[in-house]
Structure 1
Amino acid sequence: MGKYAEFSQKVLENVGGLDNITFVAHCATRLRISYADGSKINEAAIKALPECAGIVKKANQLQIIIGPQVPDAYYDFLEVSGWKEGMNENAVNVPKEKKSILDLIADFFPPIFMPIMPALVVGGMVLAIRTLCVNYFGLDVSSGTAQLLTCFFNAGFEFLPIYIGYSYAQKLKLQPILGMFLGGCLVCSRYQSGVVTDFLGIPIEQVSYGSTIIPVILGTTLIYFLDKYLKKIIPNAVIYFVKPVVTMLIVVPVTFLWLGPLGTWLSTYIGYFVTFLMDTLGVFALPILCALCPYFVMFGVDKALSPLGIELLATLGYNNITAPQNFISNIGVGAVALAIAYSAVVRKDKVKRGMIVSTAITALCGVTEPAFYGSLISFKEALMGHAIGTVIGGFVGALFGLRTYISASCPGFLTFLSFINPETGSLQMVWYAAITAAVTVAACFIATSILIKRSESKKAIAG
């Protein structure tokens, strides 16, 4: 037994015992226990436990805040309680409250992304260190040191479909290895080499799925429904090996043929949309694109905009669309994460503050995935704050005619060199970028802080 054995025993007693538990999971800081009957939950007793830093009760789920040691508490709880996946599936849950789309999104993503946050944070922080050393301390970008540091980032982000497949399958109460297997197929080196051109004569589009999340989520959702159907028709004597084989023989080709390319098809229309905005809305186009940028990344369509940036540099000598958009959006994500961390300081929530500050730093340096998936997407106030702040920052940038003169990966505070005009050596755009960044940070931080405070006031009045 681990150090959380006694804690787990007391939690088990105060959630109504094993028969009242319908699901157990954990995120970065919280032990999440879903239950059938809320009247059996003794919140006061759980709050009084020394290992508990607070609790959050949402519909039919109790979230016990523990901190970074939550994985230890999770495994001890599984051992003490004897709970296993699939238990009490037919238990009647309490009615779920009606939620807005933003609330549903906020509840959907955290259980998927929180378990993989350490990999994203490590990859993002190390890439920020590499970018800093290359841009300002003379590290040769082709050196072994720089390449090894890049491997940290690749390990965290290029294999994201594998991580997402595992955690999402776990959320759906599937065998996690099946989601992981699907993710592995999407980033398999043989597919990426370009030799997988068709399946049974049906052409397969050549799409890069590294760092994407939507294709593996769609594919794993298909696994979920197919798994439920196959359980009903496959005899128990052969289900152990027949069901996963049949499942993946269907899901993998369907994902490559239709579900995965959805992002590519969407990218085509995103390209038309961007062109339309720039042609018709002038200075109002950049603010809109800045607010939408994180969702472009989420759906993997940001890659479709990369050729536009390359074409602008080749024809005009500067990029006044995709680079400023990414720069403002990334800094906005970092500022919103800082606002969330600040609200945690006000509430004396040291656990959340420490985790979010690190992701905010990586976002300000240009790597937004840890902050966006780990913080923003869990709070509708944060998503709204980012939209408000980046629209303001985008408008300022558009008025300045903000542009970059060289291509820079992960635009943020470490890529100001891209705003220097190489022909004249002028720093004018650097100053414009600094002003735009300051406005963006202030607007995002203030907007998010106000929205969070207003939301907490409403909850206090309602409670």
Structure 2
Amino acid sequence: MGKFRDDAQALLALVGGADNISAVSHCMTRMRFALVDPKKADIDGIEDLPSVKGSFTQAGQFQVIIGNAVADFYADFIDVSGVSGGSKDQVKAAARSNQNVAQKVMSNLGEIFAPIIPAFICGGLVLGFRNVITSVPMFTEAGGFSLDAGTLTPADVSQFWAGIGSFLWLIGEAVFHLLPVGICWSVTRKMGTTQMLGIVLGLTLVSPQLLNGFAVADTPAKDIPVWDFGFAQVQMIGYQGQVITAILAAFVLVYLERGIKRICPEVVSMIVVPVFSLVPAVFLAHVIVGPIGWWIGDAIAAAVYAGLFSPLRLLFAALFGFLYAPVVMTGLHHMTNAIDTQLVTAYGGTLLWPMIALSNIAQGSAVLAMSVLQRRNERAQQVNVPACISCYAISASPSRRCSACP
């Protein structure tokens, strides 16, 4: 008999019994429940159990903190409850019935961006290092090192560093300029449609045949290339770095493919579905969805940028910092991934990530203080120590905040 069998039996009753569990799984430290009726869970009773360190609800999931022994607890719970264990994805899917519309939208948005986040991290670090060697003057004309009086960058005085800077831009361009490819792929992956069609759609948004999106502002209207259909012309503009456009275009493709699959005979679906979903999707992306997505993305970025640099920037920053932690608890913080990326595209950088890093550091410091105050409380330390480490670790890479546990 497992050592957590009694607590597992008690937890089963306190969450409303087996009939109230749609799905259950666990992560590194928590039991994750999708409950039929979350109101039946006895929160106070659950948190009084010796094995339980706390509980909370996020993104429609009721999560019970067990600690590092969660795998053993989960095995005992499955044994006493008779409930079939599931994956985290299955619990997420079952939990969506408990989410409101905003939470469902943000949950889907988070799952779209989660697979792309490692590329963001790599690209950000690479471009940061590249900016140092190509943009920070630290050498004088005489060849001396000086951060105060320097006029030359490492790339200016060394062919090696100039070559490194040129090479690193290959990665930076792939991550940020060609971002629509990754987004279109991720949307089709998330929605269960043909991923290769998503990749092709993304490539058509950043094709070298098009005028680079970053060059549009400096190009006279008469010099912008067009597709001339006789009765109408469409500007051949690329959407390098555009987030909203890529998401909207990908969803057009997804729903076209799903709709055509429903009405297309199986015998010809291999030919008909790809052609009649991809071709219209690409056309709509450049004629309708692209311009709309560009306008929405620029409007969001401009509003956030104005808040960060307006005379009321201190109030904006304070309000953002005050609301960010509660927003994370609801799962709505995933929207900042799209805003961050749009700010980088439109203005060459973002101040949201540093603000989020400071929020994580503040939370980690608060947990560290509680860890010191509760150093003789072994039960509290099982939560305090891992939480403190997680806060500081996430602070070093804020774009990964909670990506593993949405």
| TM-score bin, normalised by smaller chain | 0.5 to 0.7
1:185 aligns with 2:204: yes
For 1:94 and 1:230, the matched residues in 2 are separated by 29
Q: Which amino acid aligns with 2:203?
A: G
Equivalence map 1:36-435=2 (5 Å): 39=21, 41=23, 52-57=28-33, 96-99=97-100, 101=102, 103-134=103-134, 135=136, 138-140=153-155, 143-192=162-211, 197-198=226-227, 200-201=229-230, 202-266=232-296, 283-284=311-312, 288=316, 297=339, 300=342, 328-339=351-362, 346=384, 348-349=386-387, 352-353=390-391, 356-360=394-398, 371=399, 374-375=400-401
* 1:182–1:340 distance in 2 versus 1, CA, 3 Å: farther
1:224, CA displacement in angstroms? 2.2
Contact 1:107 1:378 in 2 (8 A): no
**Secondary structure in 1 matching 2:32:** strand
Q: Deviations for 1:179-225, whole angstroms, at most 9, x for unmatched residues?
A: 22211111111124688622635433454422222112111211222
Distance (Å, rounded) in 2 between the aligned partners of 1:275 and 1:351: 32
> Residues 287, 187 of structure 1: CA spacing in aligned structure 2 closer, same or farther, 3 A cutoff?
farther
Query: Structure 2: how far apart are the matches of 1:107 and 1:262?
Result: 23
Task: Output the amino acid matched with 1:213.
Answer: V
How far is 1:244 from its partner?
0.8
Aligned equivalents of 2:94 and 2:337: distance in 1? 33
Cα gap change, 1:153 to 1:333, in 2 (>3 Å)? farther
Partner deviation per Cα, 1:124-165 (whole Å, 9 max, x = no partner): 111122223342653216811111122222222222111111
Distance change >3 Å, CA 41–CA 289, structure 1 → 2: closer
| Contact persistence 1:268–1:304 (CA under 8 A) | yes
Moved more, 114-123 or 198-207: 198-207
* Deviation at residue 98 of structure 1 after TM alignment: 4.2
Secondary structure in 1 matching 2:155:
coil
CA distance in 2, matches of 1:224, 1:294: 24
Unaligned residue ranges in structure 2 (runs of 5+): 1-18, 36-59, 66-85, 139-152, 213-222, 321-334, 369-383
Contact 2:120/2:175 (CA < 8 Å) preserved in 1?
yes
What is the deviation of 1:229? 1.7
Q: Which amino acid aligns with 1:261?
A: P
Amino acid at match of 1:223: L
2 CA distance for matches of 1:268 and 1:354? 32
| Contact 1:266–1:301 (Cα < 8 Å) also in 2 | no
The normalised TM-score by structure 1 is 0.48
CA spacing shift, 1:133–1:352, aligned 2, 3 Å: same
Distance 1:110 1:339 in 2: 23
Q: CA deviation at 1:40?
A: 6.4
CA distances 1:249-286 after superposition (whole Å, capped 9, x unpaired): 100010111111114434786799799999xx972368
Q: 1:331 to 1:298 in 2, by over 3 A?
A: closer
Paired AA for residue 284 in structure 1: L
SS at match of 1:188: coil
Distance 1:172 1:249, change over 3 A: same
The structural deviation recorded for 1:58 is 5.2
Q: Work out the CA distance in 1 between the residues paired with 2:226 and 2:236.
A: 7
**Corresponding residue for residue 314 of structure 1:** none
Structure 1's unaligned 5+ residue stretches are 1-36, 66-82, 307-325, 361-370, 381-463
Q: Percent identity?
A: 19
Cα distance in structure 1, aligned partners of 2:353 and 2:269:
47
Query: Would the aligned equivalents of 2:23 and 2:94 in 1 still touch at CA under 8 Å?
Result: no
Corresponding residue for 1:32? Answer: none
Count residues with an aligned counterpart.
283
What is the Cα deviation at residue 97 of structure 1?
1.8
- Over the aligned positions, Cα root-mean-square deviation in angstroms equals 4.9
Q: Structure 1: how far apart are the matches of 2:300 and 2:392?
A: 36
Counterpart of 2:401, as a letter, is: S
For residues 339 and 172 of structure 2, the distance between their equivalents in structure 1, rounded to whole angstroms, comes to 16
Matched with 2:50 is none
Q: Offset at 1:167? A: 1.4
Contact 2:243 2:297 (C-alpha < 8 Å) held by counterparts: no
Instruction: Return the alpha-carbon distance in structure 1 between the equivalents of residues 307 and 111 of structure 2.
Output: 36
Instruction: Look up the SS of the partner of 1:107 in the other structure.
Output: helix
* Conservation of the 8 A alpha-carbon contact between 2:22 and 2:94: no
Paired with 1:210 and 1:254, the residues of 2 have a C-alpha distance of 17
Distance 2:310 2:24 in 1: 58
Taking structure 1 as reference, are residues 96 and 266 closer, same or farther at Cα in structure 2, changes over 3 Å only? closer
Change (3 A) 1:263 1:232: closer
